Structures are given as C-alpha cells and as structure tokens.
Structure 1
C-alpha cells in the first residue's frame, strides 16, 4: 500500500507539472485527428478531417490550427476552411522514409527517440511548398502564418494519424513523430510523454467518425490504394494527380 501511494503521488506530480506547463504555453496539444484516410487529397476545405479540425478550433475560440504529417507528394499548403486557417506541416526523416507498415518499424530507433527526443538535424520540414532545414525555421513559418491570420492564445495542434496499412488502433499513423517533437521542443520531455499519451486517446472520445473508420479501416485502406477515395476518382486514371499518387506508394 505504501509503495502504491508513493507511485500515485509521483504520477500526480508528473500530471500536475505537465498540466501547468502546457496550460501556460503557446501550443495546445489535442492529439490524433483521424484513424484512416477518408478522402484524397488528405486535407482540403470541406474534407471531413478538415471540417473536424475546424470544429475543434472553433470550440476553443481559435482562428488557426496546426496539423502535422509525414511528407509525401503533397506540398502541404495551408488554407482557410470556414473561417479557420489550417496550417499544414510535413516532416522528412533524413535517415529513412518512416515505417510503411508495422513489420518495418525500427523499434530500437523509436525507443531512442522516445527517451531522448528527435536528434538535431535529423528532420527537414515541408510547408506551403517550401522545405525548411531546421525546426526553428519551420516553427517561425508556422508562427508567422498564425499571427497573420489573427491567432490569439495557444495554437491547437493535431497529428493527422491516418494509417494506410495495418491496424490503426496499434499504428499511430501520419505525423506522430513530429507531434512528439513539437511537444518536446516546446514543453520538455515529461509533458511530451503525458500529452502524447493523452493525444492517443483523444479521437476515441472526440472523433464522430471513430466507429465508421475503425469498423471499415481495411476497406477504406483498400479503396485509397485503388484511387477510389480520390476527389476525382471517376477520371482518376487519366489525371496527373493520380500519377503522382501512384509514384509515391511508399509515402503518406
């Protein structure tokens, strides 16, 4: 009983410290946005995931929101959706393309990242068609966009979370490492742990598409790979966008 009380006390201190630290900061970490892709392109005005992020921002009185991805064929253009400015950033892992499926996850590398954070210089970043070489350059761009579009208070942050292969309950999906890096850089490693775990649970309580996505994830993944979720899927085989998509099968 004594050790249980000590453990609970330590956990309470960690949670309290993390809450106070994050509640006074410039980023409001929400968590994972989605489980699987519902449409292609990934995010655009009127896309279900975009509308959901707009809802989250409006609930918090925010004029902007930040969504992070693995880089793929997109330029990660920021855009306005229903009065909320959606800022998009993708990360490029210079030591690999990220895991394509669960069987290719480098667990030792993931463990090192979880313990020590992202090594300096490992990632590059794509936003609005430009590649940023450093984290500071990327965040300067994000903060400039937020300021230009009237952001007041902390900026809501999500990782997209979509999984193209494997079970989306196990795989955390698109953008997860960058979300963790932003929290680590902004608040330190302990709050990053706490709010990353909290963020994993976020869609189970907030995403209205949760049941549909999880029950139909294999079908949706198959449809995505066949191009059937493309915005213009009826003529998709003749489109430049489809050729770009087919040439980037191993990317988000």
Structure 2
C-alpha cells in the first residue's frame, strides 16, 4: 500500500514538473515521432508523419513544431504543412557514423552531458557551429511564422535497421541535449522517459509501424520507399 502511494506521488510530482517546466522554456519536449519510415522522404508536405507533426502542433495551439534528426545528406529545410510551420534541425557528427548503440558513450553522456564540440548543426541548408546558434535560427524562423510560447519538440525516431524499441532512432541525442540545456539533467531524464512513451500513446500508425518494421526497414535501405 505504501509503495503504491509512493509511486503515485512520484508520478504526480514528475508529471507536475514536466507540465510546469514545459510552459516555461523555449521548447516543449514531446517525444518520439515514429519508429520506422513509411515513405522517403517523410519530412515532406503531405506525408502522414508530416501531417502528424502538424496535428501535434495544433493540439497545443502552436503555429510551429520542431523535429530533430541525425544529419545525413539532406538540407533539412523548414516548410509549411497546411497552416503549421515545420522546423527541422539536424546534428552532424564530426566523426564517422557507426551503426548501433555505443553504450559506453550513452552512459558517459547521460551523466555528464554531450560535449559542446561534438557536433555541428544544419537547418535550411545552413551550417551552424554551435547549438546556441542553431536554436537562435530556429527561434527566429518560428517568430517569423507567428510562434508564441514554447515550440513543441519531437525527435524523428526512425530506425533504419534492427531493433526499434531500445534504439530510440534518428534525432534522439539532439532531443536529449536540447532538453538538458533547457531543463537540466533531471528534467532531461524525465523528458526522455516521457518521449519514449509518447508514440505508444499518440502515434496512430504505431501498430502498423511496429508490425511491419522489418519489411519497411528493408524497403527503405533498398530504395523502395522513395516517392520524390
């Protein structure tokens, strides 16, 4: 009985903390957008994941929403999805990309944070040397499109190959870094936990993505999902 009360109390405190801080910062971390790609490119006007982003923004009365990525060859342009402005930002590794999860790195960065000089950043084809510069640009673009209050933040979350539940996919490290910069380490841990749960409660395509993950990963890596 006492354990149950303690758990409920912790959930209430954690939920209250997230609610309060989410209205105080420049960004409101929501969580993971998707598990796997359904089409490529998926951050494209009219795509179901792009429409889902816009829905998340409208539900919160926001005119913009930010989705963060692992940086590939894209320029990560910002664009309109209906009446919502989709902001895109990617982190670009300075060292060669290696697939999978480096658990030593996860542990170290979970405790000490991600080094400021580890990445560069890209949005609208522009390169930024620091996260502060990149986020200043994002906030400027949001203001140009009438944004008031915190900008909802999601990480893309798609996994190209392999396991999709533990591996949080595209953009998760940048989501964590932004949350940590905005709300400190404890806030970042809570927002990451919330973010991992988010698609199970909010993504209407979750069952399709999970059930067909292996097939969709194969189609993507063999250029069978391209429609542009």
> Deviation string for 1:59-103 (max 9, x for gaps)?
111111000000011100000110110010110122442x423xx
Distance verdict in 2 for CA 1:2–1:44, change over 3 Å: closer
Match of 2:111 among 108, 115, 118: 115
Contact 2:199 2:206 in 1 (8 A): yes
Query: Residue 131 of structure 1 corresponds to which residue in structure 2?
Result: 127
- Assess if the C-alpha contact under 8 Å between 1:14 and 1:190 holds in 2: no
CA contact (8 A) 1:63 1:149 kept: yes
Post-superposition Cα deviations, 1:41-71, rounded to whole Å, max 9, x if no partner, equal 1311001110000111111111110000000
The residue aligned with 1:182 is 178
Give the match for residue 137 of structure 2. 141
**Is the partner of 2:87 in helix, strand or coil?**
strand
- Which structure 1 residue ranges, 5 or more long, are not aligned? 233-252
TM-score, normalization by structure 1: 0.84
Q: Is residue 213 from structure 1 mapped to residue 212 from structure 2 by the alignment? A: no
Q: Does 1:64 align with 2:60?
A: no
Alpha-carbon distance between aligned partners in 2 of 1:24 and 1:226, rounded to the nearest angstrom: 44
Aligned residues: 228
In the alignment, which residue of structure 2 is the partner of 1:226?
222
1:107-138 Cα deviation digits (max 9, x unpaired): 11111111111112111101110110001100
Paired residues for 1:86-105 under 5 Å: 86-97=86-97, 99-101=98-100, 105=101
Q: What per-residue deviation string (whole Å, max 9, x for no partner) do you get for residues 179-233 of structure 1?
A: 000000111111110011001000001111101000000000111112110014x
2:32 touches 2:156 (CA, 8 Å); kept in 1? yes
C-alpha separation between the residues in 2 aligned to 1:83 and 1:57?
A: 10
Unpaired stretches in structure 2, ≥5 consecutive residues: none
Larger radius of gyration: 1
Instruction: Please report how far the alpha carbon of residue 21 of structure 1 lies from its aligned counterpart in structure 2 after TM superposition.
Output: 2.3
**Judging changes above 3 Å, is the alpha-carbon distance between structure 1 residues 25 and 12 closer, same or farther for their aligned structure 2 residues?**
same
The alpha carbon displacement at 1:167 in A equals: 1.7
Query: Who is 2:156 aligned against?
Result: 160
* Structure 1 residue 142: Cα displacement: 0.3
Distance 1:122 1:221 in 2: 28
RMSD over aligned CA atoms reads 1.9
TM-score, structure 2 as length reference: 0.93
Distance of 1:174 and 1:107 partners within structure 2: 16
Q: Show structure 1 runs of 4+ deviating over 6 A.
A: 1-8
**How far apart in 1 are the matches of 2:51 and 2:20?**
30
